Amino acid sequence: MSPSAPAAVSDRQRHVEDDLLHTVLASFRNTADPRLKELMESLVRHLHGFIRETRLTEDEWQRAVDFLTAAGHITTDHRQEFVLLSDVLGASMQTININHDATAGGTEATVVGPFFVEGSPEIPRGGDMAGGASGEPCWVEGTVTDTDGNPVPGARLEVWEADDDGFYDVQYEEGQLAGRAHLFTDEQGAYTFWGLTPTPYPIPHDGPVGELLAKTGRSPLRASHLHFMATAPGLRTLITHIFVEGDELLSSDAVFGVKESLVKKFERFTAGTPAPDGRELSGGSWSRVRFDIVLQPSQG
Ligand code: BEZ
Ligand code: FE
């Protein structure tokens, strides 16, 4: 008996459905690339399994097609609805899990999100990546080492985050450059910079993915975070973020990006407390966090 067809389906009906599945599978028999063949066959098996298990109606199939069409229409160079869909279905995180073994000893990876852009300004160590973005200043410090504990001098760190209104620079129509920068570790593999204390914000939810979240009673909010991309010769590029200990959204992040090891204590200081580098903070509160990054060896 086919595992995909429910018991209520007659033998004759089951035969018809099995026949079609096998015909479609056989249509890939001449695929030259064995990996493509494996992927297409598995995709067809799972897709037919889904259609048969749910006894999908023609109306539901049409609505799925309409949904994908709407996702295509809203997608531009600056808005990628299909990646958002992958994110909210946990497909992005599951692909990351499979490709970044949690037991391999490096810092854990998480989703890149749609707001990384090339061409961030370089800042010196101790510089300010906020670049005018609003929010509470946050002193970020740490090291980059390899999995043997050796410091990695000259590692490149790209950092980016939303302002305290919940927007990345690229989401403003005026096209500003703020809340992103890159810097390099020193001879001891250490780095410091000023960023912003992360605050929660919603993923773009004015399109079909937002509608799906609303219809399924899910929130578009992401747990507060600060993005990092670390690169160094001979080591595997790491894309990750750090999250804020105590944030109530940690357990309901819209894209399932939170990992326990990435949740960090952001120590808060009241106005007037001297900053680590003596910076004049014009009287406001500030925070401080440590994030030590461990990079795995390059693959292959
Ligand atoms: C982000 O963190 O920037 C993000 C990640 C996934 C979807 C939307 C935004
Ligand atoms: Fe983000």
Work out the mean pLDDT of the chain and round it to a whole number: 95
Ligand 1 atom 2 nearest Cα? 113
Q: What residue type is assigned to position 272 of the chain?
A: G
What distance in Å separates the CA atoms of residue 146 and residue 172, rounded to the nearest whole number? 37
CA distances from 265 to 27, 42, 181, 225, 232 (A): 54, 43, 22, 12, 26
Interval 238-265 mean pLDDT: 97
Ligand 1 pocket test: pick from 81, 112, 203, 219 the residue with the most ligand atoms within 8 Å of its Cβ. 203
Which is the closest atom of ligand 1 to the Cα of 162? 3
What is the sign, positive or negative, of the torsion defined by CA atoms of 240, 245, 247, 249? Answer: positive
Ligand 1 pocket test: pick from 75, 83, 87 the residue with the most ligand atoms within 8 Å of its Cβ. 87
Q: 57-113: per-residue pLDDT in tens? A: 999 999 999 999 999 999 998 889 999 999 999 999 999 999 998 788 899 999 999
The H helix count followed by the E strand count for the chain is: 6, 12
Judged by its nearest atom, the ligand closest to the C-alpha of residue 87 is 1
Q: Which of 49-53, 124-128, 173-177, 199-203 has the lowest mean pLDDT?
A: 173-177
Domain chopping of the chain, boundaries: 11-56, 84-295
Number of Cβ within 10 Å of residue 127's Cβ equals 15
Ligand 1 atom 6 nearest Cα? 113
The band of 136, judged by pLDDT with boundaries at 50, 70 and 90, is: very high
What distance in Å separates the CA atoms of residue 47 and residue 41, rounded to the nearest whole number? 10
The answer to whether residue 133 scores a pLDDT higher than 80 is: yes
Interval 268-280 mean pLDDT: 92
Ligand 1 atom 3 nearest Cα? 113
pLDDT of residue 1: 46
What is the sign, positive or negative, of the torsion defined by CA atoms of 14, 20, 25, 29? Answer: positive
Interval 33-51 mean pLDDT: 98
Instruction: Flag whether the pTM goes above 0.85.
Output: yes
Check pocket membership of 203 for ligand 1, CB cut-off 6 A: yes
Q: At what angle are helices 58-74 and 81-88 packed, to 10 degrees?
A: 120
Ligand 1 pocket test: pick from 92, 255, 262 the residue with the most ligand atoms within 8 Å of its Cβ. 255
pLDDT of residue 175: 75
Query: Checking DSSP bridges between strand 137-146 and strand 286-290, what pairing results, if any?
Result: parallel
Q: Is 56 helix (H, G, I), strand (E, B) or coil?
A: coil
Residue 183 CB contacts under 8 Å (≥ 6 apart), including other chains: 122, 123, 124, 125, 127, 129, 156, 157, 159, 191, 193
Q: 196-249: per-residue pLDDT in tens? A: 999 999 999 999 999 999 999 999 999 999 999 999 999 999 999 999 999 999
pLDDT of residue 282: 79
Task: Tell me which of 2.60.130.10, 3.30.365.10, 2.130.10.10, 3.40.50.2300 is the CATH number of domain 84-295.
Answer: 2.60.130.10
Number of Cβ within 10 Å of residue 84's Cβ equals 28
The answer to whether residue 250 scores a pLDDT higher than 70 is: yes
Number of Cβ within 10 Å of residue 153's Cβ equals 14
Q: 275-289: per-residue pLDDT in tens? A: 999 998 877 999 999
Interval 113-121 mean pLDDT: 92
pLDDT of residue 57: 98
Number of Cβ within 10 Å of residue 229's Cβ equals 18
What distance in Å separates the CA atoms of residue 241 and residue 115, rounded to the nearest whole number? 13
**How remote is the CA of residue 174 from the centroid of ligand 2, in Å?**
20
The answer to whether residue 165 scores a pLDDT higher than 80 is: yes
**Secondary element (H or E) of residue 58:** helix 58-74
pLDDT of residue 5: 64
pLDDT of residue 174: 80
The answer to whether residue 3 scores a pLDDT higher than 60 is: no
CB 88 within 8 A of CB 203: yes
The band of 176, judged by pLDDT with boundaries at 50, 70 and 90, is: confident
pLDDT of residue 158: 98
pLDDT of residue 59: 98
**How remote is the CA of residue 198 from the centroid of ligand 2, in Å?**
9
Q: Which of 15-29, 98-112, 256-270 has the lowest mean pLDDT?
A: 98-112
Number of Cβ within 10 Å of residue 260's Cβ equals 8
Tokens standing for residue 169: 């620079």
